[in-house]
Structure 1
Amino acid sequence: MCKNDFFGIYIHIPYCKSKCRYCDFYSAPGAQGVPQPYVDALLRELAKNSRRPDTLYFGGGTPALMTPEQAALLIKEANPLPGAEITLEANPDVVTPETLQGFRAAGVTRISFGVQSADDAQLRRLGRTHTAAGATQALGWAREAGFPEICGDIMLALPEYSNAEFDRTLALLQEGGCTHISAYLLKVEPGTAFYRNPPAGLPDNDAAADFYLYAVQQLEAAGYRQYEISNFAKPGHEGRHNLLYWNCRDYWGVGPAAHSCMGSVRRFWPDDVQGFTAGTTAEQPEGDCTAEDFLLMQLRLTSGLSLAEYNRRGGQFTAAQLAFMRQCVQHGYATFDEHTFRLTPAGMVVQNAILTELL
């Protein structure tokens, strides 16, 4: 099942200055930064691991609310291999030239900014606390700090969205030196402020699909090659850590709400920051990594699903499913050479419907 030749560690920093209106991730108030007892709890868990990671990912929440000194302690305890990719997620308005220089000195190689839009009115609507000018400034500081990998997020199909808004956001990221861009559709999730009070002007499904296809086209034209349904990179700058997830390799998550897949077994931490900090919670079993999980992950990638590898993992398509895959090719949703099944951008728009037929 999950291969064991690569290994990544995900460290969850759940603290945020404020909750974005679309966010359904587990988080905790963090206006005062990341409490040292929480960092100490992460250090306690990391000390139990002896396997050196190829990648280390600080996700959240807002990991850049840590001090560089806290990040350095966690990186040292994780003991990554030489040349490891070490990613830190950040909001543009929580960093300074000094903290970015500190994170780089601590060993962070990849900084990822949640920019989302270059439209200030849109950012306010989303509940983001930065401005477009602030994002431009933060990207400049990151370049000056010497990060070899600078990443930016774009949200698509936002309220009152337009291709022109996407173009402005792409230009901001491109001019800011981004080597990697994540572009994903807004989803209104239960439990969010947007779910309780939906904003006016949300595009319908057909319009959202058009925005996605336009984004794929424009990103490719700007030199960002699509390698996953929502991820685009300059050649050679793909995110190594998330590829561990999509290729069903070993990763270990640490912190409340973090998930793991180790030796084909999936586990997770309960959503309980107090319990994690106090050491009264533990990882819980979630189930095995199956052939179906592999199919789900591989069809996110533009490299596609190898039928031989799917069969090796215990999967098997019926004659009817193979006929459906060939129909997908005829409709422009996929390519299939009888060995590898790959979704096109149009196929990724209707991925859920395709998966329904294949699972």
Structure 2
Amino acid sequence: MSFGLYYHIPYCFSRCRYCDFYAAGAWRGVPDAYIDALVAALGRHVLPGRPDTLYFGGGTPSLLTPAQCARLIQAAAPKPGAEITLEANPETVTLASLQGYRAAGVNRLSIGVQSARDSQLRTLGRPHTAAQARQAFALARQAGFANISGDIMLALPHYTRAEFDETLELIRQGGACHISAYLLKIEPGSAFGRRPPAGLPDPDQAAGFYLYAVEQLTRAGYRQYEISSFARPGFEGRHNRLYWDCEDYLGLGPAAHSCLGGKRFFYPADTAAFIAGADPVPDGGCGAEDYLILQLRLSTGLDLAEYRRRGGAAFTPHQLAFLERCAQAGYLTLTPRRLTLTPLGMIVQNSILEELI
């Protein structure tokens, strides 16, 4: 069994208008007291072993100094060859900081681009420009990073296929070997949720943008392996795969979630409480239903024998008839061994799951 460790870095320059993730407010750096708290929290857990993956997520992890990053990696003591990922915002990185992260042990960088159009970035509330995104990729390569991911957000206000093409080209030319492509979701707790922007695509248009993205990413050499994840061969993200395969992972920081030994828990969304040493809150277990939900995110789909081994119930005649209709409509493939959603099926994954759970 593999084990992953997640460090949540909740600090940001400012909040993007689509974001409803927990954040600690506007900061220009990460307080050392927060690093102390992460290290202390790590020491309070009984781990299943040294981590195979380590992920710095946020927030804006690239607000960490290289020295802070090095301290957290040393505390984690990851296995040799572990995948160590740091999310980075383009406006926060320099050649010196990226070189420092590499020296600390980071070997995978995830750069938040979202769009290649400055007007769109301003609409989203992103504090960087397209030129800064291009520069971030160039600096990452100069610093020695060979495993680089880039984020694209789809179905944005007044979106067009041309905007996607421009963003894909920026990331591809930047040397990315992995791309995460997400549909914009209007979250109730975000600024967009309180005041939706004009020009949002309708659901059918958004689905069309998603299918176009899958097609163009495939043509560009990025194979889809999960609903929102595309990679050149050998560069699939190992850390998130732990989540989808229901492996053990520990999340540290306010609002961070974990699953260890089949038990889920999370830290309250309160930075001050976390720094003060708050305990995590139990959140139930991880069973066959979780496995079904998470495996259907993957292009490899659900292994039905493994699903039954984990306690999954056999599909009823009604469910099998439903799945057969979905297969005929092009939403999935079903064999005696495996259930797999097509890209078209991934768009309506929630509706399919409602019928199966």
Q: TM-score, normalised by structure 2?
A: 0.98
1:193-220 per-residue CA deviation (whole Å, 9 max, x = no partner) reads 0011110000000000000000000000
Q: Is the 8 A contact 1:30 1:65 kept in 2?
A: no
Mapped partners of 1:79, 1:102: distance in 2: 18
* 2:123 paired with 1:125: yes
2:293 maps to a residue whose letter is L
Partner of 2:237: 239
2:344 maps to a residue whose letter is A
Partner of 1:80: 78
Query: What's the offset of the Cα at 1:110?
Result: 0.6
Q: Gaps spanning 5+ residues in structure 2: where?
A: none
1:253-275 per-residue CA deviation (whole Å, 9 max, x = no partner) reads 01110000111111100001001
Report the secondary structure of 2:113's partner residue: strand
* 2:211 paired with 1:198: no
Query: What's the offset of the Cα at 1:88?
Result: 0.3
Partner of 2:324: 326
What is the aligned counterpart of 1:58 among 56, 59, 67?
56
Query: How many matched pairs?
Result: 354
Partner of 1:67: 65
Q: TM-score, normalised by structure 1?
A: 0.97
Q: Gaps spanning 5+ residues in structure 1: where?
A: none
Mapped partners of 1:31, 1:265: distance in 2: 33
* 2:292 paired with 1:295: yes
Partner of 2:147: 149
Partner of 1:11: 7
Partner of 2:162: 164
Mapped partners of 1:322, 1:243: distance in 2: 28
Q: Which runs of 4+ in 1 moved over 4 A?
A: none
Mapped partners of 2:115, 2:40: distance in 1: 38
Query: What's the offset of the Cα at 1:32?
Result: 2.6
Partner of 1:37: 33
1:307-344 per-residue CA deviation (whole Å, 9 max, x = no partner) reads 11111111111121122112211100011112100000
Partner of 2:89: 91
Partner of 1:104: 102
1:18 maps to a residue whose letter is S
Query: What's the offset of the Cα at 1:30?
Result: 4.3
Percentage of identical aligned residues: 64
What is the aligned counterpart of 1:221 among 219, 222, 225?
219
Q: Is the 8 A contact 2:12 2:28 kept in 1?
A: no
Report the secondary structure of 2:2's partner residue: strand
1:77-102 per-residue CA deviation (whole Å, 9 max, x = no partner) reads 00000000000001000000000000
What is the aligned counterpart of 1:257 among 255, 258, 280?
255
1:165-180 paired onto structure 2 within 5 Å: 165-180=163-178
Q: Is the 8 A contact 2:246 2:291 kept in 1?
A: yes
Mapped partners of 2:68, 2:174: distance in 1: 27
1:174 maps to a residue whose letter is R
- The alignment yields a C-alpha RMSD, in angstroms, of 0.8
